[in-house]
């Protein structure tokens, strides 16, 4: 599918894409460095992002928010729940498996998007997409087989990452319809806000600590909200209006490379050969599926 760029030059779009992918690549490492419980990290990530956006939404998007229909609100809340579950599952997975395995599995969400689109939206799966899904699933088997040598904890972490990929796929599918009617700031503001409320409520009910951390931990929590969320996700969402969704998705496939490299350099996590081989199959599978 040809890419439509609304700017006179592709340079601004490519630059924003590069900023977005680079920013989200820092998420896993920053979360590890924060050292806080998963629900705490997820709650702070979404809450800080919402608070930063709130003044802009209040001034610029008040009329658009007031014009939202009941269906819009139901879908926004559903999207928010999917996003909250995604962060809950994925961030927890980082406590049980390597950064490389977790990020590679979560980045395989285009495979799940294709499958869910077929089941929910009735969109057909083409031959190249089917081949891509098969390659991705094979890569997941290779990756998980390698983690068997590490222990059952890594398998549990990988399963949590799969759930993270599934739930973020639901978030993307719901977002497809909402973004046709809502502006970017209205969509992001309502979904981030509702997601933060969900996460705080679950953290409170589960007994997860939301305060009493060191200044260093709070600093990393703020960085998680600003770099991967506000800068990273916002950049990618902005790019979706100017280039095709497949191009953005293919660009995000670079995230595991960046995240794995950062984890190796900063955390000393050298990925095993099986992770690299399995990850390569997953990424090739996604690329194959996206270019069907």
Q: pLDDT tens digits, residue range 197-208?
A: 999 999 999 888
In a domain, 2, yes or no: no
- Sign of the torsion angle spanned by Cα atoms 180, 184, 186, 187: positive
The position carrying tokens 């498996």 is: 97
Contact 143, 105 (CB under 8 A): yes
Q: CA-to-CA distance for 278 and 97, rounded, in angstroms?
A: 15
Q: How far apart are the first and last CA of the chain?
A: 9
- % of the chain with per-residue pLDDT over 90: 34
Its domain, for residue 132, covers 16-290
In a domain, 9, yes or no: no
User: How far is residue 244 from each of residues 7, 59, 127, 148, 174, measured CA to CA in Å?
Assistant: 13, 30, 21, 38, 17
Tokens (6 digits) for 104: 């590679």
In a domain, 4, yes or no: no
> pLDDT confidence of 8, banded at 50, 70, 90?
very low
Q: Is the pLDDT at 5 greater than 50, yes or no?
A: no
In a domain, 234, yes or no: yes
Tokens (6 digits) for 191: 């979904």
Q: CA-to-CA distance for 132 and 109, rounded, in angstroms?
A: 12
- Residue 254 makes CB contacts below 8 A (sequence gap 6+) with 21, 25
In a domain, 53, yes or no: yes
Domain count, the chain: 1
Q: CA-to-CA distance for 258 and 20, rounded, in angstroms?
A: 12
> pLDDT confidence of 285, banded at 50, 70, 90?
confident
Interval 218-227: pLDDT, tens: 999 999 999 9
In a domain, 208, yes or no: yes
How high is the mean pLDDT of the chain? 82
pTM: 0.80
Contact 258, 99 (CB under 8 A): no
In a domain, 8, yes or no: no
The position carrying tokens 């050298």 is: 270
Interval 85-113: pLDDT, tens: 999 999 999 888 888 778 878 877 777 77
- % of the chain with per-residue pLDDT over 70: 83
In a domain, 7, yes or no: no
Q: CA-to-CA distance for 288 and 292, rounded, in angstroms?
A: 7
């Amino acid at each position: 599918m040809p890419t439509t760029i609304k700017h006179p030059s592709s340079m601004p779009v490519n630059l924003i894409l590069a900023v977005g992918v680079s920013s989200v690549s820092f998420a896993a490492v920053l979360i590890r460095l924060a050292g806080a419980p998963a629900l705490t990290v997820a709650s702070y990530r979404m809450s800080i992002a919402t608070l930063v956006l709130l003044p802009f939404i209040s001034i610029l998007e008040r009329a658009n928010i007031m014009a939202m229909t009941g269906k819009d609100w139901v879908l926004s809340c559903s999207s928010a729940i999917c996003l909250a579950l995604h962060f809950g599952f994925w961030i927890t997975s980082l406590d049980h498996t390597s950064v490389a395995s977790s990020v590679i599995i979560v980045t395989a969400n285009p495979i799940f998007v294709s499958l869910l689109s077929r089941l929910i939206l009735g969109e057909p799966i083409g031959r190249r997409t089917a081949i891509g899904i098969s390659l991705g699933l094979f890569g997941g088997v290779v990756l998980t087989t390698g983690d068997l040598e590490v222990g059952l904890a890594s398998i549990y972490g990988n399963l949590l990452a799969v759930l993270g990929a599934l739930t973020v796929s639901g978030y993307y599918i719901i977002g497809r319809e909402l973004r046709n009617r809502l502006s970017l700031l209205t969509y992001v503001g309502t979904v981030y806000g509702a997601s933060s409320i969900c996460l705080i409520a679950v953290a409170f009910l589960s007994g997860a600590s939301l305060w009493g951390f060191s200044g260093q931990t709070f600093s990393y929590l703020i960085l998680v909200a600003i770099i991967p969320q506000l800068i990273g996700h916002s950049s990618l969402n902005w790019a979706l209006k100017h280039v095709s969704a497949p191009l953005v998705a293919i660009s995000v496939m670079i995230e595991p490379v960046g995240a794995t490299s950062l984890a190796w350099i900063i955390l000393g996590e050298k990925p095993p050969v099986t992770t690299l081989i399995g990850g390569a199959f997953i990424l090739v599978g996604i690329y194959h599926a996206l270019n069907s």
